[in-house]
Amino acid sequence: MITFTAVTKRFPDGTVAVDDLTLDLPEGKITVFVGPSGCGKTTSLRMINRMVEPTSGQVLVQGRDVMEQDPAELRRGIGYVIQTAGLLPHRTVVDNIATVPYLLGWDKKRARSTALELLERVGLPAAYAKRYPAQLSGGQQQRVGVARALAAGPPIMLVDEPFSAVGPVVRAQLQAEFLRLQQDLGKTIAFVTHDIDEAVKLGDVVAVFHQGGHLAQVDTPEQLLAAPANDFVADFVGRDRGIRRLGFRLADSLPVQPVDAPRDSEWVLDLDDRGRPRGWSRRGVTASMQSGGGTFTTADSLRTVLDLTLTSPAGVAVRVDQHGVADGTVDHAAIAAHIQDDPIRAAR
């Protein structure tokens, strides 16, 4: 749906922001542009809706060269979310969300009805509709910004570092909400970030940009972590990429020990009368289970399980079934052995 072919952007002072970029963004997926400051990722994003125009090459949106389209018409068909939300301070939340529908000539009732539906979809109560941006937190403003970008039902969204100005807890919540929305809506999304963790968490495809506007590698997050194309990419994704890659591996094939298996440990797992974990006890003193209860299911990642073993007082994570009943345990040594035996380990 979005294609860059030999695209270069050179500014009047001679600075080359993007150099010979050729890239396809798959339809219905999230493609994340990531890289250090000044590498051309935001410039590339803005060439999609002609906020920046290419010096040479072609940017195609739905098979049409953006330079052959009216900029205003092009932009009305593309949702756009920026770092600061960019809400109009004199308009209520509901009217901010309805901005593009108003521009498209929708009647006020339809535009506001759609805005109210989207307000709920991004996790804000209907009571917020009459508030003004100044009455919202940063995270709430970003939710409104996402709703506004979705208001006219565009098939494409451009998202430029939308969560970088909020704290880590709110950021994680917004990321989860964003993924939930994408699962429901299936938009074609170009997403800019400087954070490799955010890139691998959100992206179906990750495009790593090098200084000078060069594209260093395009791959799935798991393959990017498994096989960096060069030293720059390896340094950028970090030396802990093996741990990060565990986030893409489910615990469904992880061998576990029976809950009542003998264990060379001073810690004993306490279960209620239904077999659900309550905590670990040592000499009669109960220690609360950590990290969300210290339990995991087969739907969790190996990275989650490893983290649970490292934060558990017993060095053990407890697997539970769909009813929360403990049905196995695993320690970090067993996880390491499982990873060692995995045939795809050689791809790292």
Q: In what order do the strands lie in the sheet with 16-25?
A: 16-25, 2-10, 56-61, 64-65
What confidence score (pLDDT) does residue 229 get? 93
Best CA proximity match to 21, nearest among 1, 40, 49, 42? 40
Best CA proximity match to 228, nearest among 210, 219, 196? 219
Give Dmax (Cα) for the chain.
76
The string of pLDDT tens digits covering residues 177-210 is 889 889 988 999 999 999 998 999 999 999 999 9
**How far is residue 174 from each of residues 112, 221, 229, 244, 345, measured CA to CA in Å?**
23, 20, 30, 20, 32
Helix (H, G, I), strand (E, B) or coil at 193: strand
Helix (H, G, I), strand (E, B) or coil at 129: helix
What confidence score (pLDDT) does residue 346 get? 33
Q: How far is CA 50 from the centre of its chain?
A: 25
Best CA proximity match to 320, nearest among 275, 290, 287? 275
Domain 2-248 has CATH 3.30.70.3270: no
The token pair that represents 102 in the structure block: 């108003």
Dist CA 307 CA 311 (whole Å): 6
Dist CA 19 CA 35 (whole Å): 14
Phi, psi of 114 (to 5 degrees): -65, -40
Q: Where are the domains of the chain?
A: 2-248, 251-345
**How far is residue 345 from each of residues 154, 177, 309, 340, measured CA to CA in Å?**
40, 32, 21, 7
Phi, psi of 225 (to 5 degrees): -70, -35
Dist CA 172 CA 113 (whole Å): 29
The list of the chain residues with pLDDT below 70 reads 85, 283-293, 341-348
The token pair that represents 334 in the structure block: 């067993």
pTM for the model:
0.79
Dist CA 55 CA 180 (whole Å): 37
Phi/psi region, residue 140 (left: phi>0; alpha: psi -120 to 50; beta: rest), is alpha
Q: In what order do the strands lie in the sheet with 316-320?
A: 295-296, 316-320, 326-331
What confidence score (pLDDT) does residue 287 get? 54
What value does the CA radius of gyration of the chain take, rounded to a whole number of Å? Answer: 24
Best CA proximity match to 245, nearest among 125, 132, 339, 107? 339
What confidence score (pLDDT) does residue 342 get? 60
What confidence score (pLDDT) does residue 4 get? 97
Q: What is the fold, at CATH topology level, of the domain defined by 251-345?
A: CBS-domain (3.10.580)
